[in-house]
């Protein structure tokens, strides 16, 4: 086709008119497509890409389809990547319908910059304030308005025990933190790695925070992460927590640094290690290996308080009525009791509404749901109470202490105070 044009320039004309006709046809096609998109269409950015996770998110997609909408799945592997992809698109003027964040402060900035639609209409209509646990409600509200859709609650201060390892050592698995150290000593004597620990900074930090909440109590924990109180860090109670944490260093194996959490869970599954401090997502690994809660593996919450975290969806700012309808339908669907139960059963977490049927959850899930009903006994994880910056800075101190046996409690305390000051 290009050859006649080159030799006979006059033939440009038909080409031009063909182009115009093509444009018209395209426009007509577009016009035909537009009415079809009147049904709510939601593009959702999330980072649930592992096997269990994508099975869980499929529950949401199907529920949304049943409710009359179309779910457009944009999965980005890795939380950080997904969040920066979402924020880049919001800043670039091409926002998705909804984007995933962890429950907490991660979406503070985009709320403050006015890049987010609130969920007040749906929240008021569906009575969210009547059933959401208070820490969760606080975590999704800014100045009294709800800006995020919480979808699950992960408990983060769980301790898992390997029945196989404890049978081999000939002792009973511990049921509480008080029974922990003697049990660890028994495992050590039997030549089994007592704590299956993944020595990555976030895991070092999670273990410390679980112990801080259990041994130091909710008030101390809150005054550190919520109030950033340097005096609380210098208190005797905090120093006792640091000493206890430091004493656990002797119970991990030399291969621990850098290990992934699921490899550490694998050590419990095979009976090579006895206990693991981890969030309830570890259950997914046990279940995938065919183990049953309460039989081949055990679980207990470290201390009387329940440290919660989870995932939320945030709705990008839009004035388009179609998109707004899609967002409202999404908010209603994600919190419907059926979707909540089905999703969380697969995800390993527990529903954000305590008013759903708990019969299908396992022993650990039942415990989690019980804890969720007692408002005085639950508190957000550090990410919910303080900025990502502060969590990261304190984590640097925690992981340095955990990996440096000659670092003293004084050094730890001073480093922690400094981190609170500079990152506050």
Partner 1 sequence: MRPRRTSATGTLALLPVWAVVIVAYLGTIAWTVVISFTASKSLPVYEFVGLAQYERLFRTSRWLVSVENILIFGSLFIGTCLVVGFLLAVALDQRIRAEGAFRTIYLYPYSMSFIVTGLVWQWIMNPALGVQATVRGWGLEGFTFDWAANRDMAIYAVAVAGVWQASGLVMAILLAGLRGIDQDLWKATKVDGIPTWRVYASIVLPLLKPMIVTAVVLLSVAVVKAYDLVVALTRGGPGIASEVPAKFVMDNLFERSNIALATAASTVMLVSVLAALAPWLYAEYIRASGARAA
Out of 17, 113, 176, 292, name the contact with partner 1 by CB under 8 A: 113
Nearer to partner 1, 265 or 393 (CB): 393
Which residues have CB under 8 Å from 171's CB, separation 6+? 183, 186, 187
Q: Beta strand 145-146 with 116-117: parallel, antiparallel or unpaired?
A: unpaired
Nearer to partner 1, 56 or 391 (CB): 391
Out of 402, 412, 416, 420, name the contact with partner 1 by CB under 8 A: 402
Out of 18, 20, 77, 109, name the contact with partner 1 by CB under 8 A: 109
82 touching partner 1, by CB under 8 A: no
144 touching partner 1, by CB under 8 A: no
Nearer to partner 1, 304 or 392 (CB): 392
Is the Cβ–Cβ distance between 214 and 157 less than 8 Å?
yes
Nearer to partner 1, 61 or 278 (CB): 278
CB of 83 to partner 1, least distance (A): 8
How many whole angstroms separate alpha carbon 68 and alpha carbon 77? 28
Is the Cβ–Cβ distance between 275 and 194 less than 8 Å?
yes
CB of 396 to partner 1, least distance (A): 5
418 touching partner 1, by CB under 8 A: yes
Token pair for residue 83?
């969040």
Out of 43, 53, 118, 253, name the contact with partner 1 by CB under 8 A: 253
Q: One symbol per residue from 193 to 212: x for binding partner 1 (CB under 8 A), - otherwise; what is it?
A: ------xxx--x--------
Backbone angles phi, psi at 379, to 5 degrees: -150, 150
How many whole angstroms separate alpha carbon 278 and alpha carbon 264? 10
Out of 100, 156, 256, 327, name the contact with partner 1 by CB under 8 A: 256
Max intra-chain CA distance, the chain: 95
The DSSP output letter for 214 is: I
CB of 309 to partner 1, least distance (A): 15
Nearer to partner 1, 132 or 148 (CB): 148
The DSSP bridge partners found for residue 380 are 308
* Beta strands per DSSP E along 283-324: 297-301, 306-309, 311-316
Q: One symbol per residue from 258 to 287: x for binding partner 1 (CB under 8 A), - otherwise; what is it?
A: x-----------------------------
How many whole angstroms separate alpha carbon 232 and alpha carbon 37? 56
Nearer to partner 1, 188 or 377 (CB): 188
84 touching partner 1, by CB under 8 A: yes
Query: Which of 37, 126, 56 minimizes the C-alpha distance to 328?
Result: 126
Out of 91, 124, 240, 288, name the contact with partner 1 by CB under 8 A: 91
Is the Cβ–Cβ distance between 228 and 420 less than 8 Å?
yes
């Amino acid at each position: 086709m290009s050859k006649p044009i080159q030799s006979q320039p006059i033939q440009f004309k038909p080409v031009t008119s063909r182009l115009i006709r093509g444009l018209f046809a395209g426009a007509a096609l577009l016009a035909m497509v537009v009415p079809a998109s009147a049904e709510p269409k939601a593009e959702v950015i999330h980072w649930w890409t592992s096997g269990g996770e994508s099975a869980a998110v499929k529950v949401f997609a199907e529920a949304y389809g049943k409710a009359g909408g179309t779910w457009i799945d944009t999965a980005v592997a890795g939380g950080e990547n997904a969040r920066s992809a979402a924020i880049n698109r919001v800043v670039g003027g091409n926002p998705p319908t909804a984007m995933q964040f962890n429950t907490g402060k991660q979406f503070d900035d985009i709320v403050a910059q006015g890049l987010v639609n609130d969920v007040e209409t749906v929240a008021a209509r569906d009575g969210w304030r009547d059933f959401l646990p208070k820490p969760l409600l606080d975590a999704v509200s800014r100045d009294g308005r709800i800006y995020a859709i919480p979808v699950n609650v992960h408990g983060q201060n769980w301790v898992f025990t390997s029945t196989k390892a404890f049978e081999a050592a000939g002792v009973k698995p511990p049921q509480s933190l008080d029974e922990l150290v003697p049990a660890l000593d028994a495992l050590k004597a039997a030549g089994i790695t007592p704590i299956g620990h993944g020595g990555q900074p976030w895991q070092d930090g999670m273990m410390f925070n679980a112990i801080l909440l259990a041994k130091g109590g909710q008030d101390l924990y809150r005054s550190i992460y919520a109030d950033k109180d340097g005096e609380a860090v210098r208190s005797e109670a905090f120093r006792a927590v640091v000493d206890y944490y430091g004493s656990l260093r002797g119970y991990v194996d030399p291969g621990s640094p850098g290990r992934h959490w699921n490899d550490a869970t694998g050590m419990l599954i095979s009976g090579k290690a006895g206990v693991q401090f981890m969030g309830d997502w570890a259950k997914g690994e046990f279940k995938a290996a065919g183990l049953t809660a309460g039989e081949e593996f055990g679980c207990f919450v470290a201390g009387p308080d329940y440290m919660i975290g989870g995932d939320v969806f945030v709705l990008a700012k839009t004035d388009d009525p179609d998109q707004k309808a899609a967002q409202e339908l999404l908010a209603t669907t994600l919190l419907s009791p059926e979707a909540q139960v089905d999703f969380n059963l697969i995800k390993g977490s527990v529903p954000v509404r305590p008013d759903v049927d708990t019969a299908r959850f396992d022993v650990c899930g039942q415990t989690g749901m019980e804890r969720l009903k007692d408002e005085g006994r639950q508190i957000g994880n550090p990410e919910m109470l303080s900025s990502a910056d502060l969590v990261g800075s304190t984590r640097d101190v925690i992981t340095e202490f955990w990996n440096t046996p000659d670092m003293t409690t004084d050094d730890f305390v001073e480093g922690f105070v400094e981190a609170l000051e500079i990152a506050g």
